[in-house]
Chains A and B, each alone.
Chain A
């Protein structure tokens, strides 16, 4: 590597599952090269993290901060803002930071409903329990606090200014490697770009045979045995490959599962779900309103599919029930 000062890197998670960090570990031996080329100042999973160091850092002392996970509570936001301040480059890493991810599905429900399901009304809760966690509690004179659980989930870019986006749930390790290399070599594209993904859609990399499309009946994944060689849409199986950026390695369609869009919308698509809706509905093979209804009735929870990884990024972002 070069003689110049080593890169100063930090990795952190918000409301995440940890899969993004595993994806980084999945670069295997390469991670040792990174360790050689950079000072990993802060990465709780693999090396000792010392928060006080992060606080002590001068603004922009870090060259790169990789943030995975969504913003679900006041603490996530606090960390995001701290790292934004301390780092020259902030990367939203993985579907949750990029688009809100699967935790973002919570935007179709409410805080009260979530607390009720988790703490009050489920088969294994302590009989008669009325307690739900609260951000401030006084126990026998001892004051305890936990972060404020927000009404909804936000993508990272909703709370801080983000420089780059690495999509995927989780990002494909090969792509992670490319991104890290680009950083080390200082070969990053203009800010605000999506990195570690293709500009075309999953269909471009999908090996399945594609023909003209007309759909008379949609099938749920469990209703048929998928043909491994024919485009899933032509089998009436929902697949978001056509609206979704490629770069994942077509891992789901190659497992006979439709794409759920974790790599986010194609570059010139504004809203992944409504765009998918537009394409999908257009190929319905009917001119009769009642038949169309009948065909659509076999697509339950379209919102939960079309925004599986991006509800907080969708144009409407969350439920607007009164």
Chain B
């Protein structure tokens, strides 16, 4: 059977999660591959969550927060903006493809944009094929 990517989404409550709800109330359709976890602010997202998701079998991780300047907590999303590029560098040294992890700004009024982002991400990750991380960590145990 064909491979269906598993994507974990971390959404901030005030903009992106609300935006995702708006996509719902407006019945905007997008692929069911994303599994959303709600946090109050992208600033709460410890990069460990992302690597943990990858290690547990996520094929992709999507982080969505308020547009810069619009954070409900005034500056939370800047913390995400600072952590993310360093996380990407780290993942690169682990040999994990760039497109598996993504940070996007989605406001409460951007239901359509949320749907577009999820659709695009799902297709890209589908293109990459399944993530090797989970599998490799399992086969390592079998090496011995």
Residues of A within 8 A of B (CB): 74, 77, 108, 150-152, 154, 158-159, 270-271, 273-275, 277-278, 280-282, 284, 286-287, 289, 292-293, 296, 299, 301-304, 306, 314-322
Contacts and interface: CB of A to CB of B under 8 A. Distances in A.
A274 B46 contact: yes
A76 to B, nearest CB: 10
Contacts of A292: 81-82, 85
A278 B46 contact: yes
Contacts of B132: 320, 322
Interface string B41-84: 00000111011101100000000000010000001001101110
Contact of A281 (B86, B131, B136, B140): B86
A273 B91 CA distance: 11
> Secondary structure at chain B's binding surface: helix, strand, loop or mixed?
helix
Interface of B: 46-48, 50-52, 54-55, 68, 75, 78-79, 81-83, 85-87, 89-90, 93-96, 131-133, 136-137, 140-141, 143-144
Given A284-B82, A296-B85, A317 B137 contact: yes
Nearest to B140: A152
Nearest to A269: B48
A77 B144 contact: yes
A152 B142 CA distance: 12
Contacts of B131: 320
A289 B81 contact: yes
- Looking at B94, B131, B140, which has the most chain A CB atoms within 10 Å of its CB? B94
Given A277-B90, A315-B51, A320 B144 contact: no
Given A287-B78, A303-B93, A320-B94, A278 B83 contact: yes
Contacts of A278: 46-48, 83
Q: Max chain A CB contacts within 10 Å: which of B86, B87, B95?
A: B86
Contacts of A74: 144
Given A282-B83, A318-B136, A302 B144 contact: no
A306 B90 contact: yes
A301 B86 contact: no
Q: Which of A150, A275, A278 has the most CB of B within 10 A?
A: A278
A296 B84 CA distance: 11
Contact of A317 (B75, B83, B87, B140): B140
Given A277-B87, A303-B94, A316 B51 contact: yes
Contacts of B52: 270-271, 315
B79 A274 contact: no
Nearest to B134: A320
Nearest to B52: A315
A319 B137 contact: no
A240 to B, nearest CB: 14
A296 B48 contact: no
Given A302-B93, A317-B137, A275 B86 contact: no
A77 B140 CA distance: 14
A320 B47 contact: no
A22 B103 CA distance: 48
